[in-house]
Structure 1
Amino acid sequence: MSRVLITAGGSGIGRAMAEGFAAAGHQVWVTDVSAVALADLPEGWRTTAVDATDEAGVKALFAEIADTWGGLDVLCANAGIAGPTARIEDIALEDWRKCVSVNLEGCFLAAKYAAPLMKAAKAGSIVVTSSTAGQYGYPNRAPYCSAKWAVIGLMKTLAMELGPFGIRANVICPGAVEGPRMEGVLEREAAAKGMTRDEVYAGYASGTSMGRFVEARDIANMAVLLGSDAARLVSGQVIAVDGHTENPDPKV
């Protein structure tokens, strides 16, 4: 039974990951910036309200994990925000920095404090949530795309640096995922492009060879696999769970 930490696990992909690991019999510890989201989680899950970009809070979290569990087997570095949807000339530096901070620095801090626990055990798996935006450019999504490309570089470095200690690192790149967060993206993108929400949705869906959005459980299933011994020699990989994205936005 593995000890698994999922950041931003109060809803969406993170919650699906927690449910997947719990269903497979593992212990789960979920963080989220929203205490309200954590209050709605199943009984028996450990939870901590923490901002993924707050180093003092993250450091305290991992100290608590060490005291409570004695170590950590799997880190799902999942914290992220969509950021602004706007032309590059209309993006405020403050909004850019916030998006990059949550998506990139949040991953960095989680890995920074997870690494010593995993090194002590000479084993571990770090699963980073990126996006197909980390593989393709998306018009009007500069901060998000930049951060999601960056976490892939971070993961590649972690795989090389931590591999000698028996620690694996991989990235999952979700495509368009059904749910409230993607609905917000669709609405903002539609407004930015002068299109309807349904037109933007159709553009995303038709850009995949399977012609559909994915579900959060599809991402969770891959995370559980990457955290398991079945993937014991899978490291440094960028794995898209997206129905095969051929052209992310053909209507642009």
Structure 2
Amino acid sequence: MANTPTYDFTGKAALVTGAASGMGLAAARGFAENGAAVALLDRSADAVEKAARDLVDAGRRAIGIACDVTDEAQVAAAVDRAVETFGRLDMAFNNAGVQAPPSDAAEETAEDFDRVNAVNLRGVWAAQKHELRHMRAQGSGAIVNNSSLGGLVGLPERAAYHASKHGVIGLTKSAAVEYAPRGIRINAVCPGVIETPMVAGMLEGQAEAMAAIMQDQPIGRLGTADEIAAAALWLCSDAASLVVGVALPVDGGYTTH
């Protein structure tokens, strides 16, 4: 987490979904390096257990939990296990997400629509729901949901994906106004085109479309997972104590035009 602020998360516990790679892994490392105990959740059991083990080997407190966010029962059990392990839950980054293949809006399949919404929207809904159960009893907490520039704008051949990410913002804002009076802050981050395994696949398989997207990237480069993690950590920290219900673009200027 070079060139980013440091926080004192000592005595606090964090939970991150989609934590085995990309933005989720960067955030989990950031929370841990700033003193938090971290529960890493991911559908890949081997990968998430290795990620947690690496943090433990570096002297951090962490557990890896295999969890498919499309299954609410798994999400509830994973959140409960995190709280049982660490005794509390102070911060969460609901990051797990998938892409949908580009498709003419008249040709998108129900299967693709259901899959992308099951992970990107219902998965965030389930994670937030069960995190709030514990934070509500605790009377404190901060949640960051991962939306996208696709939650703020529309792009051709991205209807299902953008619908899911717009939904995350609506979910975030509604829960934020409900829970702010109870001491819990909820916000969203909206990453631009970030250098992650998912985007690497898009760059390779959809080179023409991605070249067009990069033309609209004022900063002239891909973002990094650490840059999104830095935003998530700030939103979870006391430094963002007055920030409630925002959808924060972290996109190198993409959504400014």
Cα distance in 1 for residues equivalent to 2:50 and 2:200 = 22
- Do residues 3 (structure 1) and 3 (structure 2) align? no
Deviation at 1:247, TM superposition (A): 7.3
SS in structure 1 opposite 2:48? helix
Gaps of 5+ in 2: 1-9, 57-61
Please point out which of 233, 242, 245 is paired with 2:251: 242
Q: Which residue of 2 aligns with 1:230?
A: 239
Deviation at 1:86, TM superposition (A): 1.3
Give CA-to-partner distance per residue, 1:199-250, whole Å, 9 cap, x none.
44432222122122100000000111111111111111111111011478xx
Deviation at 1:39, TM superposition (A): 3.4
Alignment of 1:69-218 (within 5 A): 69-188=86-205, 190=206, 197=207, 199-218=208-227
Q: Which residue of 1 aligns with 2:6?
A: none
TM-score normalized by structure 2?
A: 0.89
Q: Which amino acid in structure 1 is aligned with residue 253 of structure 2?
A: H
Q: Which residue of 1 aligns with 2:41?
A: 31
Q: Which residue of 2 aligns with 1:219?
A: 228
Q: Is the 8 A contact 1:32 1:49 kept in 2?
A: yes
What percentage of aligned pairs have identical amino acids? 39
Deviation at 1:43, TM superposition (A): 4.0
* Pairs aligned (count): 240
Gaps of 5+ in 1: 191-196
Assess, with a 3 A threshold, how the Cα gap between structure 1 residues 82 and 211 changes in structure 2: closer, same or farther. same
Deviation at 1:179, TM superposition (A): 2.7
TM-score normalized by structure 1?
A: 0.91
Q: Which amino acid in structure 1 is aligned with residue 247 of structure 2?
A: V
Deviation at 1:182, TM superposition (A): 0.7
Give CA-to-partner distance per residue, 1:119-154, whole Å, 9 cap, x none.
122111010000001111011111110000000000
Q: Is the 8 A contact 1:132 1:175 kept in 2?
A: yes
Q: Which residue of 2 aligns with 1:13?
A: 23
Please give the root-mean-square deviation of Cα atoms over the aligned residues, in Å.
1.5
Deviation at 1:66, TM superposition (A): 2.6
Q: Is the 8 A contact 1:206 1:212 kept in 2?
A: no
Greater Cα offset, 202-211 or 171-180: 202-211
Greater Cα offset, 64-73 or 46-55: 64-73
Cα distance in 2 for residues equivalent to 1:80 and 1:200 = 20
Cα distance in 1 for residues equivalent to 2:158 and 2:210 = 16
Q: Is the 8 A contact 2:104 2:157 kept in 1?
A: yes
SS in structure 1 opposite 2:254? coil
Greater Cα offset, 77-86 or 96-105: 77-86
SS in structure 1 opposite 2:20? coil
Greater Cα offset, 202-211 or 69-78: 202-211
Deviation at 1:58, TM superposition (A): 1.2
Alignment of 1:47-86 (within 5 A): 47-86=64-103
